[in-house]
Structures are given as structure tokens and as C-alpha cells.
Amino acid sequence: MATREAYGLALRDLGEEGEFVVLDADLSHSTMTGLFAERFPRRFVNVGISEQNLLAVAAGLAYSGKVVFASTFAVFATKAWDLLRIIAHDGLDVRVAVSHGGLSNGPDGWSHQSVEDVAVMRAIPNFRVVVPADAAETRGAVRAALAPGGPGTSG
């Protein structure tokens, strides 16, 4: 199973256990957040093709007390560098979950490939980076991200 499919299934399954919100930047078929959206349409928001907007909405929801997963392709998330820094600096309850890292998105060409995403995000103080190797690790990472003090949490 692809890690992105495991991500979507984990969100869907954990949606029964917690009140978190999932955002996507018009890639829910690719990031597999559509699986969550089908079951929890009132807790899913497609912000359109705008990663800056994705992370701004995620930050706003977190400021209002929501727990948020913001999902997109790795190469697009890093373009919203200033918002990533704000999320990390302010310790917001946002998990930035990216797929299609490295050269894994080869057929879509260089504009969708990211070989620097991990390096860019690791350079942000207070920003935790988790790179699961397979579906089992992905499911575990999503669960850990929701645990108090887990990756992406302020506690």
C-alpha cells in the first residue's frame, strides 16, 4: 500500500476518535484525504490551489482551538515558507502532511518534484519532521501526531 493511501485511511479511521479538521489544496484525490472527506464532510475543507491559503487557514483554525491536518504535495508546501515559520514559532496545533516528496512524482515532471523539502522544513525551529518509510509507519505517524506532545503538537 502506498504511504499516501495509508495516510488517507489513517485520517478516516482516526476521525472517529478525535475532533480534528483536514484541509487540502485541491489534491484530495492524490493525497487521499478524500477518504476522510467522504466520511466527515463537515470537518474537511478544500481551500483550492493555494498552499499559502492552505496554511493561513490552518493557522487561523489552530488559533481558534482546532487541531488541523494540512495536506498537499511536498514541493508546494515549502513555497509557503513564511506561514510554516509562523505555525512553528507560535506552536500551533497544525500538522503539515505532505506527499509526493523527492522524485516519487516523476511522471508529473520537475515542477512537482521536491528534493529539498525535508531540508527546508528541518531548518525551521520547533518544526518536527517525520518521514515514514512505508504504510505501517505512516499510520503510526498519523496516530502519533494526534497524541499529546507528538509531532506537530504544541504540547
Task: Kindly compute the dihedral angle of the four CA atoms of residues 73, 9, 136, 111, in this order, to the nearest 10 degrees.
Answer: -10
Q: How many beta carbons lie within 10 A of that of residue 35, not counting itself?
A: 20
H-type alpha helices, 20-134: 28-31, 34-39, 51-63, 74-77, 81-89, 117-122
Catalytic residues, which ones?
A: 51
Stated as kind and residue range, the H or E segment containing 68 is strand 67-73
Name the one residue in this structure whose C-alpha cell is 522544513: 121
